[in-house]
Chain A
């Protein structure tokens, strides 16, 4: 993969951030009547989408056989973490204005907040262990640890589903995409196990 592909993907990934920043500055119609609510919703949406894109790298690699796109995975994961962190900071620093009582109230009584916070904690842990040194240090455990990204994906989708109160179109779309990405992995894992036992794969997905 030529390096420019990596840079191209990074630039594309940074575009939503630039677009949000421009709207904070008043461009593209600004953030509307309730700017903080808008900012919270939009950072969350972008974080969710980028996380799904990052989760799609491995299935795409296997389906297309283009091994090189695997090199985009860490960058996309870190980008998802950056957007999720922005979302998190907007929540407690701008929306709740560092009001610890309100923050603790949300984190202890509102399941959607717990799920979202859990997803962010996992992404934080994975971001901290995303360096080459950490990969070398953790060895096989690094792979095991970084499988927690699936859990982060599930928690993020659950966060959105539980937050939705009437119109489930967006929530259902995220659920569907995540469900598809995760079920591909399950099918592959099962086939791998069968092959290891010398049985043929049961379906067309290899």
Chain B
């Protein structure tokens, strides 16, 4: 088993094994893997909360933003509109049990318990830049697997052109969903070729451990060349569609948030010039890179498109 979700009743392994010890063990495993390529990872230890994963391709060597900052400063409007709210209200999101539905225009739809959904996938670490539309950025070590694996398994029909995502809906417990700040549940979408791109990740971990609730546990999307809000959190449904799916921010402010929302310094948001950004932890702004610096990998997806019109 590659990932094991803990029941609430079980002791937290961090209470049993000091973090430094299992951290060393992971480092040892990873080191061993790097040395003896092809070495098969031993099965996970007795219910370790830390994930087993391999270093992935496409990782940046930029310095990751501290764990503390990544987990206490972010947007997750279901848990509140302030950027400290998600961490403060994280306990209100229940992630057990969790079901993921894959459906729509595909020949192998399914309804999975999270454990079964994750079981086939090997996890890898991807250190990605994340650029928020508000003009700040981070470098985040995600642990996850390519979304494309899920797509291949679902076998989309020839008519499928988009993938739609839906986030958790639980207004009884999630304080942000009791007010119509956005249309709930939060929805997002990608064109099928964007979804298939090897950079597009489904993340289940952060800094080697399971995703904290405030960062979109237990399963979230990461699309590193698009603004952060495209990377929908706490996914309950992945659906193949023939027409462009609705997205929560596009419904709220269509003139400000397009379907594509590629990071683009030349297309300003009405509220924010997108020319520069502030990397969390730095004093001065830095220039924003086209496609958040992933142009070599993804620019071909948009060849011939007017990105000012399809923003």
Same complex? yes
Flag if B271 contacts A166 (CB, 8 Å).
no
Shortest distance between the CB of A57 and any CB in chain B (Å) = 31
Q: Name A97-139 residues within 8 Å CB distance of B.
A: 97, 99, 102, 105-106, 109-110, 112
Cβ < 8 Å to B, chain A residues 30-85: 32-34, 36-37
Q: Residues of B with Cβ closer than 8 Å to A?
A: 68-69, 72-73, 77, 81, 83-84, 136, 181-182, 252-253, 256, 268, 270-271, 273, 275-276, 278, 280, 283-285
Contact with B along A145-184 (1 / 0, CB 8 A): 0000000000000000011011100000000000000000
Residue A9 is within 8 A (CB to CB) of chain B in the complex: no
With A32-B84, A33-B72, A167-B81 in contact, is A102–B271 under 8 Å at CB?
no
Contact A102 B275 (CB under 8 A): yes
Chain A residues closer than 8 Å to B271, beta-carbon distance:
110, 112, 162-163, 165
Chain A residues positioned under 8 Å from B256 (CB to CB):
165
Roughly how many angstroms separate A97 CA and B69 CA in the complex, as a whole number?
Answer: 23
Q: How far is the CB of A23 from chain B (nearest CB, A)?
A: 14
- Minimum Cβ distance to chain B for residue A90 (Å): 13
Name B73's contact: one of A32, A95, A96, A97 (CB within 8 Å): A32
Contact B81 A166 (CB under 8 A): yes
With both beta carbons as reference points, the residue of chain A lying nearest to B268 in the complex is identified as: A109
Q: Is the CB of A110 within 8 A of B278?
A: no
Residue pair B278, A36 in contact (C-beta under 8 Å): yes
- Residues of the B chain whose Cβ atoms lie less than 8 Å from the Cβ of A167: 81, 181
Residue of chain B at shortest CB distance from A36? B278
Partner pick for A105 among B72, B81, B275, B278, CB 8 A cutoff:
B275
A37-B136, A96-B285, A102-B276 known; A166 vs B270 contact (CB < 8 Å): no
Secondary structure class of chain B's binding surface, majority of residues: loop
The answer to whether A166 and B273 touch across the interface, beta carbons within 8 angstroms, is: no
A34 and B136 contact, Cβ closer than 8 Å, known pairs A97-B284, A165-B271, A167-B181: yes
B278 partner residues in chain A, CB cutoff 8 A: 34, 36-37
Q: How far is the CA of A167 from the CA of B77 in the complex (A)?
A: 10
- Chosen A-B contacts, 18 in total, with CB atoms closer than 8 Å, are A32-B73, A34-B83, A36-B278, A36-B283, A37-B136, A37-B278, A95-B285, A97-B284, A97-B285, A99-B276, A102-B273, A110-B270, A110-B271, A112-B271, A165-B271, A166-B181, A166-B182, A167-B81
Docked Cα-Cα span, A102 to B286, in Å, equals: 12
Q: Which residue of A lies closest to B182 (CB)?
A: A166
Distance A24 CA – B283 CA, assembled complex (angstroms): 14
Chain B residue contacts of A34, Cβ below 8 A: 73, 83, 136, 278, 280
Q: How far is the CA of A102 from the CA of B136 in the complex (A)?
A: 16
Nearest-CB distance from B177 to chain A (Å)?
13
Contact of A33 among B69, B252, B275, B283 (CB under 8 A): B69
| Distance in angstroms between the alpha carbons of A23 and B270 in the assembled complex | 31
B226 CB, nearest partner CB in chain A, Å: 18
Question: Which residues of A from 13 to 36 have beta carbons under 8 Å from B?
Answer: 32-34, 36
Interface centre among B73, B182, B252 (most CB of A within 10 A): B73
